[in-house]
């Protein structure tokens, strides 16, 4: 029988699926790297369970997380998103998603891909949680990534949000040491 991280016990099936199949697994596809960045910006100040429960609705509302499309959203699309009951309707976060898509494209232009950029902070290596370390909320790495992202104009990000993002995309593997999904 598989053993999971202690914090996922009692969570809904979609959350367990996220833990088992996504969290801590290295991701290199730019579209998914953007997807989780967008979702993490909506996570700011809210529970991840709430955001994750709306994943399918976010995907529909935000054109399959296509950052090339999102970067060109206009006020009519923002108004439409603000009326969408399936997502979190927060003007600042919606507008930040557009700005972040534009910044994402700039990072791609500068680095060839967002993947090259985000993994360059660890020279392509996964940062593994070590025995005896408590589950962190931020780190020197997330501080550094946040500082650079902000120079590109990314919004609704901070070190805690970026730490969570780095976990989601597998740059940081914070699974419990006895977790079968490590």
In this prediction, residue 1 carries a pLDDT of 72
Active site residue 18: yes
Residue 47 per-residue DSSP state? -
Binding residues, as ranges, are 5, 19, 175, 179
Q: Which of 23, 27, 36, 40 is catalytic?
A: 40
Contact indicator for 22, 158 with CB cutoff of 8 Å: no
pLDDT tens profile 91-118: 999 999 999 999 999 999 999 999 999 9
Count of CA atoms in the C-beta half-sphere (13 A) of 60: 9
> Residue 164 and residue 36: Cα distance in Å, rounded?
10
Cα Dmax for the chain: 51
Q: Which of 48, 111, 138, 152 is catalytic?
A: 48
Active site residue 48: yes
Residue 181 per-residue DSSP state? T
Can you name the CATH fold of 12-173? Endonuclease III; domain 1 (1.10.340)
Binding residues for Zn(2+), as ranges, are 5, 19, 175, 179
Cα distance from N-terminal residue to C-terminal residue, the chain: 15
Question: What's the pLDDT band for 131 if we cut at 50, 70, 90?
Answer: low
Question: What's the pLDDT band for 148 if we cut at 50, 70, 90?
Answer: very high
The structure tokens listed for 177 are 């040491």
The owner of tokens 């991280």 is 5
In this prediction, residue 135 carries a pLDDT of 77
Q: Which of 18, 23, 73, 163 is catalytic?
A: 18
H helices of the chain, in order, are 13-21, 30-43, 48-53, 55-61, 67-70, 75-83, 91-111, 114-120, 140-151, 159-168
Active site residue 138: no
- What is the average per-residue pLDDT within 142-165? 97
pTM: 0.95
Instruction: Answer yes or no: is pLDDT of 144 > 90.
Output: yes
pLDDT tens profile 32-62: 999 999 999 999 999 999 999 999 999 999 9
Question: What's the pLDDT band for 132 if we cut at 50, 70, 90?
Answer: low
């Amino acid at each position: 029988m598989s053993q999971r991280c202690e914090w996922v016990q009692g969570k809904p099936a979609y959350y367990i699926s996220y833990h088992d199949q996504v969290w801590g697994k290295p991701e290199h596809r730019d579209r998914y790297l953007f997807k989780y960045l967008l979702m993490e910006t909506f996570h700011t100040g809210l529970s991840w369970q709430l955001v994750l429960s709306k994943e399918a609705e976010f995907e529909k509302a935000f054109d399959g997380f296509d950052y090339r499309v999102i970067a060109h959203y206009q006020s009519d699309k923002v108004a439409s998103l603000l009326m969408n009951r399936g997502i979190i309707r927060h003007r600042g976060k919606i507008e930040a998603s557009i700005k972040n898509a534009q910044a994402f494209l700039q990072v791609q232009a500068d680095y060839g891909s967002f993947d090259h950029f985000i993994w360059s902070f660890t020279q392509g290596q996964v940062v593994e949680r070590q025995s005896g370390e408590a589950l962190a909320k931020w780190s020197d790495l997330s501080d550094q990534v946040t500082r650079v992202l902000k120079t590109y104009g990314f919004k609704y990000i901070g070190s805690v949000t970026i730490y969570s993002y780095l976990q989601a995309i597998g740059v940081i593997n914070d699974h419990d040491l006895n977790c079968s999904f490590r």
